[in-house]
Amino acid sequence: MSSPENSPPVLTHATPAPASEASSPASGLAVWHGAWTTPVMRPSAAPWFETWSEQGFTDQSLRQVVRIHSGGTQVRIRLSNAYGHTPLHLTGATIGRTAASGAVHPDTMRTLRFAGSPSATIPARGRAVSDPVALPTEPFEHLTISLYFQEATGPATYHQLSMATTYRAAGDHHRDPSATAYTDTVRPAYGSWYYLEGVEISGTHRLPRAVVAFGDSLTDGFGATIDGDDRYPDLLAQRLLAAGRPRPVLNAGIGSNKLLTDSALGGDAGIARFTRDVLDQPRVGTVIVLMGVNDIQQTEDPARGAGREATPVTVQQLIDGHRALIRAAHARGVRAVGATLTPYRGAAGWSAAGEAVRAQVNEWMRTSGEYDAVVDFACALDPDGTGSIREGLHTGDYLHPNPSGYRAMAYAIDLAALGQ
């Protein structure tokens, strides 16, 4: 539920913290960095496209492709059963460099083990971290993770919107370099990721601390190119590398997510998932927070069918929610960068009252000094101050940027504002 006005929300742990914090190089142990992540969600039916989350998997192989933002000499993955009600039995898993259309370069395929075993049982509401495997990687390489589930999984913990193609095959094909058996994909291929929560790398030296982009569909990347890796966090990571400041940018966005309220469609509220999805990532240095437009403009949850009108969110409630995130970040030594709420005049959920709330929250963000720095995404998408995303920068719905809009967002960020 939304927090009462003038009462700051409480942050909670959704799942246990991962066992992935880096060790000191002096200890002789590997130093692990986040190279890719996605927030997990409870199984649900997406109103816009098919997913496999509610049916889960039985005697099926799943092949998922991700692009990492940092390289190293070893790699490991995190799998989550955070929303499972029964243990998840993973029969086998591999990782390797991606070839075309779901295939894997054969000489790079590695078997993943868990505590020495090629299979794993992940408890309900738990997670598992694989053993490290030697696999040299470079920034912006694509890796393919293949999972085989012989037994029925039940409904699957997943991330609804991947903007990347995920492949499914009948039977055990997790060791296949070719994609011949992986004939099943979701069309349109907005895609989802299942059970996969993170990819971590280690190498010969310590990398700068990660930036985590925390938000809703504008961070998740709805409207970006499918399999194109042109969401704003992707482009920000490329800017950092080109500027000689390489840092992983971990995408912790969830489409339809709200800052203050849980949603069957949009996942746990931002204030509830912030610890798990941001602060518990390995070696986090900075978070960029872009949250609040859905609290303002979504009065019902499409996944629930015919909706009931919600009490409109207030300026004070949103400010208190942002303050809770700032306090939590600072308590863990993480730099907090606020992003102004983006315009949406012309979108289905726009109202004059909502626009007034957005303007007041943005004024607080720009002038209060409570965030360590502010990124003005509203100005980047609406430089003339019309209240609408400029033509040519949105998908046609006046809410979601297109690839050009995401580029404008990424280039609006002062790299110095992200800290060291």
The answer to whether residues 253 and 220 touch, using CB atoms and an 8 Å cutoff, is yes
Residue 47 has pLDDT above 90, yes or no: no
Residue 277 has pLDDT above 70, yes or no: yes
pLDDT at 108: 98
9 is a domain residue = no
Residues 190 and 219 in one domain: no
Residues 389 and 257 in one domain: yes
Query: Where residue 298 falls among pLDDT bands split at 50, 70, 90?
Result: confident
Average of per-residue pLDDT across 115-132: 98
Percentage of the chain with pLDDT > 90? 84
Average of per-residue pLDDT across 242-249: 96
Q: What is the 3-state secondary structure (H, E, C) of 377-404?
A: HHHHHCCCCCCCCCCCCECCCCCCECHH
1 is a domain residue = no
- What whole-number distance in Å separates Cα of residue 15 and Cα of residue 127? 8
Residues 218 and 253 in one domain: yes
Quote the mean pLDDT of the chain. 91
23 is a domain residue = no
Between 403-411 and 232-242, two packed helices, what is the crossing angle to 10 degrees?
Answer: 50
Residues 233 and 163 in one domain: no
By DSSP bridging, strand 32-37 and strand 196-202 are: antiparallel
The answer to whether residues 198 and 64 touch, using CB atoms and an 8 Å cutoff, is no
pLDDT at 206: 80
Average of per-residue pLDDT across 97-123: 97
Boundary residue ending a domain (199, 215, 249) = 199
First to last CA, the chain: 36
pLDDT at 311: 86
Average of per-residue pLDDT across 19-26: 39
* Span of 21-25, 243-247, 262-266 with lowest mean pLDDT: 21-25
pLDDT tens-digit readout, 133-149: 999 999 999 999 999 99
Residue 9 has pLDDT above 60, yes or no: no
Boundary residue ending a domain (151, 168, 199) = 199
- What whole-number distance in Å separates Cα of residue 232 and Cα of residue 225? 11
Residue 3 has pLDDT above 60, yes or no: no
Residue 269 has pLDDT above 70, yes or no: yes
pLDDT tens-digit readout, 174-223: 999 999 999 999 876 789 999 999 999 998 778 899 999 999 999 999 99
Residue 2 has pLDDT above 50, yes or no: no
- What whole-number distance in Å separates Cα of residue 229 and Cα of residue 254? 16
Residue 71 has pLDDT above 50, yes or no: yes
Tokens 């020495």 found at: 116
Query: Where residue 29 falls among pLDDT bands split at 50, 70, 90?
Result: confident
Residue 50 has pLDDT above 90, yes or no: no
Residue 115 has pLDDT above 70, yes or no: yes
What does pTM read for this prediction? 0.92
Strand partners of residue 338? 289, 374
Average of per-residue pLDDT across 4-17: 34
Residues 178 and 261 in one domain: no
Could you tell me the sign of the dihedral formed by the alpha carbons of 396, 408, 340, 197, in that order?
positive
Query: Where residue 101 falls among pLDDT bands split at 50, 70, 90?
Result: confident
24 is a domain residue = no
More confident residue, 28 or 118: 118
Average of per-residue pLDDT across 248-261: 97
Tally of domains in the chain: 2
259 is a domain residue = yes
Residue 36 has pLDDT above 60, yes or no: yes
Average of per-residue pLDDT across 284-312: 77
Residues 195 and 212 in one domain: no
Residues 193 and 215 in one domain: no
pLDDT at 106: 98
Which CA distances in Å does 198 have to 38, 103, 136, 214, 265? 6, 20, 17, 15, 22
Boundary residue ending a domain (156, 174, 199) = 199
Q: Which domain holds residue 139?
A: 30-199
173 is a domain residue = yes
Residue 400 has pLDDT above 50, yes or no: yes
Residue 242 has pLDDT above 50, yes or no: yes
Residues 79 and 43 in one domain: yes
66 is a domain residue = yes
Residue 132 has pLDDT above 50, yes or no: yes
The CATH number of residue 244's host domain is 3.40.50.1110
Cis peptide before 246 (omega within 30 of 0): no
In the sheet that holds 142-149, the strands lie side by side as 110-111, 92-97, 142-149, 60-67, 166-170
The answer to whether residues 320 and 3 touch, using CB atoms and an 8 Å cutoff, is yes
Residues 251 and 376 in one domain: yes
- What whole-number distance in Å separates Cα of residue 313 and Cα of residue 318? 7
Residue 23 has pLDDT above 50, yes or no: no
Residues 407 and 266 in one domain: yes
Residues 224 and 95 in one domain: no
Please choose, from the candidates 317, 362, 324, the residue with its C-alpha nearest in 3D space to the C-alpha of residue 340.
Answer: 362
Please choose, from the candidates 358, 362, 352, 353, the residue with its C-alpha nearest in 3D space to the C-alpha of residue 294.
Answer: 358
pLDDT tens-digit readout, 376-385: 999 999 999 9
Residues 190 and 212 in one domain: no
20 is a domain residue = no
pLDDT at 309: 53
